[in-house]
Structure 1
Amino acid sequence: MTDEKTPGGPSGQDLVEQLKASGQLDALFEQIDEGRVELTGDGGFVPALVKAALERGLQAELTSHLGYGKGSEDASKHANSRNGTTPKTVQSEVGPIALDVPRDRAGSFTPRLVPKGQRRLGGLDDMIISLYAGGMTIRDIQHHLASTLGTDLSHETISNITDAVLEEVAAWQARPLEEFYPVLYLDAIRIKIRENNQVINRAAYIAVGVDLGGVKHVLGIWVQDTEGSAFWAHVCADLANRGVRDVLIVCCDGLKGLPEAVEATWPDSMVQT
């Protein structure tokens, strides 16, 4: 998150500093220090603050949809009107938030702040993806969210979130490439990954291309058990199939068979260690 100011107004940090200077936050901080107020989780201060902000925004959306404010004298002139609220709980990165979503009598109101059918706020998905990328299993993530945020997500929900990322990774891995790169770097590094509840070593094959403007692009990453020239031949063929027709200089290490794999794909390229 950034600390940008809205046009003509103070930033969020400016407002916090003003409240601190006025002493209006002292009583709250004392209760937090004494453990009488929880910041996150069920009944926490931050979820309550987010709830108030979201519900205020939803009411503002409904006002815009109806064309008049709550309690307005002009309400009788409009065919549509407010019709109470519907309870809805959304999971967030600060814990579960129980919302009262306003309704209209015609049933035509479609909230944009918290769309219909949405049960998670965006930040929670980002947190799950970050934990998964860090090597935590789905069960670990489930326990972590429950113990730290009080957020109870099913194994299937977390799996669906991580699977959506894997689909994006697959699309990125297969994306079309430029026809020509002046310089192509090929190298493999050893990385540790979690597999079947064990941390094991794997070889990550990495191809980095430098375009005509001098900008480096990661063209692909492939993870295998070990590094070998046979798989490098597969990497070169994959790059060629995705559109790379020619390379001027290919920089790589002295792995036996790697220069031959490069030359078989791009015969006119220069291999440089």
Structure 2
Amino acid sequence: MTFTASLPDATVQTCIVHLLRHSLDFVSYKDRKPVATALKDIYRATDAEAAEKALTAFEGSEWGKRYKAIGQSWRRAWSEVIPFFAFPGEVRKIVYTTNQIEALNSKLRRAVRARGHFPNDDAAMKLLFLILNRAEKEWKMAPREWAMAKVQFAILYGERFTKAMA
């Protein structure tokens, strides 16, 4: 599967950090640093094709042969990994992890679960709006990579992005 320069509106991407953590679950403690270093060639590749070559190289390496489950888990998740490579490096530094998204989703789920039920859809939307406003006030500072990522998003998504930022 290859990606063109135009990105789809909705792309499913797995969290690279979670995939790495899952990979290291298969590794003995003393081998974690060298295996993590070997995996960097995959997620730091310039594009999906180079990443697949790096994955194949990892699978053929000493670490890949010793811990075959790592290559297998990356292959199983590959269709969710390759959307990551459609973005420029500046954007990858922002989207390589989904921890912030998962934290926000957790707050929303917790609020909905505590409420239990809603008389109508508007009531649910109002609650979610209030939770999002409160969560936004907790955000201290944007990551330093955000400035460069914004430029890349403006290039990739054009008016759609600039309207959202207004």
Report which of the two has the higher share of strand. 1
TM-score of the two chains, using structure 1 as the length reference: 0.22
**Which one scores higher on RCO, CA 8 angstroms, separation ≥ 6?**
2
TM-score of the two chains, using structure 2 as the length reference: 0.31
Report which of the two has the higher share of helix. 2
Rg comparison, structure with higher value:
1
